[in-house]
Amino acid sequence: MAPLLHHQPFKTIYLVGFLGYLLFVKLPYWTVKYCVPSHRPRPAWTVKRCIQIALLRNLTTIPAKVGLSLGCDLTLEVPNSSLKNNARFAWVEGLGDDLVVGPIKDAALQTGVRPATRLPGYWQLKAGTVWPGDVALPGEKTVLHLHGGAFAIGSAHPSDTTASLPRGLLKHSEELLRVFAADYRLCAHNEPMNPFPTAVLDSLAGYRYLLRMGFLPQNITIAGDSAGGNLTLACVRYCVESRLPEFPPPGRMLVSSPCGDISMSRDGPDSSLYINRDTDIFISVPGEKFGVHMRDLLLGPLPDSEAESNPYMSPLSPHIIDAPGAYRGYPNTYVVAGGAERLYDDAEALVQKLEADGVEVISDIPKDAIHDFIIMTWHEPERTDVLKRVAAWIDRSPV
C-alpha cells in the first residue's frame, strides 16, 4: 500500500506546508547563518551558493516522499512548434528481441522487461544552425545525452534541467551542430515499474538511432550525468562485450557525477558518502542507507545481491573484482565530478579502472563543486570552465 502522502488531499497539504516552512522559516534562517563564514559548509562558497545548495538539499527529498512523477509522457509526440531554440522532436525505434543478449537478456527475463516499441528523443541545434536533415553530414560529430534523475525523474525534453548539458556543449564546441537527447522509461516512486534493465535497453535504442542516421561510431560521444552516467557505462559495456555488429563502441564517452555503485557500498568513515554528507545536495536520512530507495526501484524483483555484483548495474561496486583487461576496448573517456559530492568516490574508482587497462581518460574534478553541477546554470564558474574543456576535447577527436 502506498504511503499516506502519496494520496490526495494529504499530498497537497504536505507540499503547501513544506514550501511555506521552507520559504518563511528556513530561508531567513539560512540567510543569517551563512553570513558567518565559519558556518558555511565550504569556505570557498558564497552566501548565495550556500543557500542555493540548502534549497536543493530540501527539494530533492520531495519526489520520493509524496510519490511525484517528474517525467514526460513517452507515448505522446511533441510538436516542433512547441519547442524553443530550434529544437526538434524525433521518434526512436525500440530494439528487437534479437538485439537483447547476454547478462542484459538474463536480467530482462527475470524482471519481465521488454524493449519499447518506440521512444521520444530531442535534437538541440547550435544557435543559428538550420536543420541539416535526417541523415548525418559527412564527418559530422554528435553527442547522445542520457539524462540523470535517479532513474525515476527527469526527461530528455529541452525544457528539463538536464538539457543544459547538451546546450552547454553546443555553445562551447566549434564542431558540434546538433546533439541528441534520448528519453528512457522511468521507475516510479509510487508503484513498481520499469526496473533494470529497462533504461539500458532504451538508451541503446537511442544509440542505434544515431548509427542508423549514418553517424560513424567514432564520431559519437555518449554522455550521461548522474544516473545517466550509469547508463552510459552500461551502454558502452554492452557495445564492447556483446560484439553485435549493430552496436560498435562509440568514439568517446563522457560521464558526469556517475552513479556507478547502486549498492552504495563505499560508505565507511573515509568515504565521500560520509565525508561530503553535509556539502552535497542529498540529505542523509537517519537510520537509512543512502540511495536505498533508488536501489529498490531499480532492482524490482531482482535480489539485493544484484546491486553489488551486476557490472551493468553497479560497475564501480567494490564487490566486483574486474579481471585484468576488463575495460580494454573502452573509448577515450572524460570523467567529471565535484570534490564536494557524495559520489566522488565512484568517479575516482572509474578513472582508476580505466587507467589500469590503458584507456585514455581525463579526470576533471573541481574541488568545491557538488553533484551534477554541470547541469546547474548557477554553479559558476565551475560549470562553464568544465564545459569549455569538454567541448574542446570533443572537437579534438578524430573524424
Q: Three-state SS string across 45-99, please? A: CCHHHHHHHHHHHHHCCHHHHHCCCCCCCCCCCCCHHHCCCCCEEEEEECCCHHH
Residue 354, amino acid: L
Q: How far is residue 9 from each of residues 12, 15, 133, 152, 334, measured CA to CA in Å?
A: 6, 10, 48, 23, 46
Would you state the cell numbers that stand for residue 145, as one nine-digit string? 545525452
State the Cα–Cα distance between residues 235 and 230, nearest whole angstrom. 9
Residue (of 244, 263, 243) closest to 310 by Cα position: 263
Domain boundaries, the chain: 4-66, 80-265+291-396
For position 270, what pLDDT does the model report? 96
Superfamily assignment of 80-265+291-396 in CATH? Answer: Alpha/Beta hydrolase fold, catalytic domain (3.40.50.1820)
Chunked mean pLDDT (size 10), the chain, 399 residues: 78 92 96 97 97 94 79 90 92 97 97 97 96 96 97 95 97 98 90 93 98 98 98 98 97 98 94 95 84 93 96 97 94 98 98 97 98 98 98 87
Identify whether the C-beta of residue 202 lies closer than 8 Å to the C-beta of residue 211. no
CB-side exposure of 63: number of CA atoms within 13 Å? 19
Per-residue model confidence (pLDDT) at position 193 = 92
Q: pLDDT per residue over 307-325, tens digit each?
A: 999 999 999 999 999 999 9
Between CA 364 and CA 335 the distance in angstroms is: 6
How, if at all, do strands 220-225 and 332-336 pair?
Answer: unpaired
Q: Does the CA dihedral 312-315-318-324 come out positive or negative? A: positive
Confidence at residue 85, expressed as pLDDT on a 0 to 100 scale: 81
What pLDDT score does 399 carry?
A: 62
User: What is the model's pLDDT at position 4?
Assistant: 83
